[in-house]
């Protein structure tokens, strides 16, 4: 999409493009403000960083978004990702997670 000059939303938001793991209530998640966040492709680190490196921390992100939209329980907020973004190909298995929240595994068809 980038090479074709198309909007990011078309390149990133397509059917089945946003798999999520189990929802963990904030009260049960603990303090994830300094949690490690990662994605591995074929068992190798592709992206690994820390939630504390977000441009806005979690509370600030919610504050900024709630100024523009009425946020409701169950709303999902997607942020950017750590350095290391790269293409995946059919057959790749991705495993990602946030420390304390478990992992999610996806196989690219």
**CATH node for 21-107:** 3.90.850.10
Mean pLDDT by 10 residues, the chain (109 residues): 71 76 85 93 94 92 95 88 86 93 91
pLDDT tens, 23-49?
888 888 889 999 999 999 999 999 999
CB 68: neighbour CB atoms within 10 A? 7
Q: Given this model, what pLDDT does residue 8 score?
A: 65
Domain ranges of the chain: 21-107
Q: Given this model, what pLDDT does residue 11 score?
A: 66
Label residues 22-31 b or e (16+ Cβ within 10 Å = b). eeeeeeeeee
Instruction: Give the C-alpha separation, 78 to 62, whole Å.
Output: 11
Q: Which residue, 14, 19, 6, is CA-closest to 107?
A: 19
Phi-psi region of 74 (alpha: psi -120 to 50; beta: other; left: phi over 0): left
pTM of the model: 0.77
Q: Given this model, what pLDDT does residue 52 score?
A: 94
Q: Given this model, what pLDDT does residue 14 score?
A: 73
Q: Given this model, what pLDDT does residue 65 score?
A: 95
């Amino acid at each position: 999409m980038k090479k074709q000059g198309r909007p990011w939303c078309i390149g990133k938001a397509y059917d089945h493009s946003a798999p999520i793991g189990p929802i963990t209530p904030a009260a049960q998640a603990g303090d994830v403000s300094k949690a490690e966040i990662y994605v591995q492709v074929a068992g190798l680190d592709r992206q690994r960083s820390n939630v504390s490196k977000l441009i806005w921390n979690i509370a600030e992100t919610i504050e900024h978004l709630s100024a523009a939209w009425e946020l409701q329980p169950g709303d999902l907020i997607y942020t950017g990702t750590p350095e290391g973004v790269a293409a995946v190909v059919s057959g790749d298995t991705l495993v990602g997670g946030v420390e304390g929240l478990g992992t999610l595994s996806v196989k690219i068809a």
